[in-house]
């Protein structure tokens, strides 16, 4: 393996989205949402290639306009609402290898995290490269709702999701500062060695190094309310979007592919 491992950045952008229809290419602050992820990935200087995996020709056109590579379209069978990431990642790696492009590692940068910056990516890449004996890196942040206060319903009974707390002071009846520190993954980025996919049939493996996101770096647009909040954060100057460096994709072209 080379001293500086090669890495391909994957930007997944399937066409279907039930909660925010068309969100990957929906206009956000003047550009399609996906443009901000492509721009930060290209400008970070960490990746040998930035590849968009999509099942949609119109999305592919937009991605290419903003500088990403779209060497193939994802099969529709790998683009459903319940399709696991391992399927499209494996498809992308195999397709690239068949065309002569093999990489030591890969990153997943989802378009729904527009506030992930060039500096975010560079910081994560540095953490991944320094880590010894790991399979992957995953972005995390402190939980806002602690799983120690979550429940499962079984029949007509309420049972604690995590029954591991001390019996004398159950977690569900404790104040937040007294609970163990818990972290939740966010969608801003993941990095893994390519070997993990073939060896474990997962995108993460079993040994992960954490990457703690700061501020709004890990903000993820999943619901319409998230979209509204993201727009408000931009309007109020609470966040600065990555610099696109080119004119917006034409509205006429965008509408024709919707």
Together in a domain, 52 and 174: no
Helix (H) or strand (E) holding 125: helix 118-130
pTM: 0.90
Reply yes or no on whether the pLDDT at 10 is more than 80: yes
Domain that holds residue 203: 7-143+185-256
pLDDT number for residue 42 = 98
CATH code for the domain of 209 = 3.90.550.10
Question: 157 lies in a domain?
Answer: yes
Task: For residue 16, name the pLDDT band (cuts at 50, 70, 90).
Answer: confident
Task: For residue 253, name the pLDDT band (cuts at 50, 70, 90).
Answer: very low
| Number of domains observed in the structure of the chain | 2
Q: What is the CA radius of gyration of the chain?
A: 20
The whole-angstrom distance between residue 139's C-alpha and the CA centroid of its chain comes to 9
Together in a domain, 46 and 121: yes
**In 3D, which of 41, 9, 186 has the Cα closest to residue 107?**
9
Reply yes or no on whether the pLDDT at 257 is more than 70: no
Task: For residue 122, name the pLDDT band (cuts at 50, 70, 90).
Answer: very high
Query: 139 by DSSP, 3-state: which?
Result: strand
Q: What pLDDT, in 10s, does the model give residues 231-245?
A: 999 999 999 999 999
90 vs 2, higher pLDDT? 90
Contacts of residue 131, Cβ cutoff 8 Å, sequence gap at least 6? 137, 209
Together in a domain, 86 and 15: yes
């Amino acid at each position: 393996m080379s001293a500086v491992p090669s890495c391909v950045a994957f930007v997944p952008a399937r066409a279907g989205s039930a909660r925010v229809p068309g969100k990957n290419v929906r206009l956000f602050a003047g550009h399609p949402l996906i443009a901000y992820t492509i721009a930060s990935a290209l400008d970070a200087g960490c990746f040998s290639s930035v590849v968009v995996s999509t099942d949609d020709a119109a999305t592919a056109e937009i991605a290419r306009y903003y500088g990403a590579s779209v060497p193939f379209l994802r099969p529709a069978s790998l683009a459903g609402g319940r399709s696991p990431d391992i399927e499209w990642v494996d498809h992308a790696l195999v397709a690239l290898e068949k065309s002569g492009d093999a990489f030591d590692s890969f990153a997943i940068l989802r378009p729904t995290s527009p506030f992930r910056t060039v500096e975010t990516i560079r910081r994560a890449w540095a953490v991944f490269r320094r880590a010894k004996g790991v399979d992957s890196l995953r972005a995390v942040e402190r939980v806002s709702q602690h799983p120690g206060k979550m429940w499962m319903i079984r029949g007509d009974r309420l049972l604690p999701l995590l029954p591991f707390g001390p019996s004398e002071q159950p977690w569900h009846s404790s104040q937040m500062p007294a609970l163990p520190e818990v972290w939740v993954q966010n969608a801003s980025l993941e990095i893994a060695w390519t070997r993990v996919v073939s060896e474990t049939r997962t995108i993460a493996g079993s040994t992960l190094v954490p990457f703690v996101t700061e501020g709004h770096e890990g903000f993820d647009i999943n619901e319409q309310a998230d979209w509204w909040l993201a727009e408000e954060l931009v309007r109020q100057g609470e966040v600065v979007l990555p610099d696109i460096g080119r004119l917006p994709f034409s509205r006429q072209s965008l509408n024709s592919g919707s």
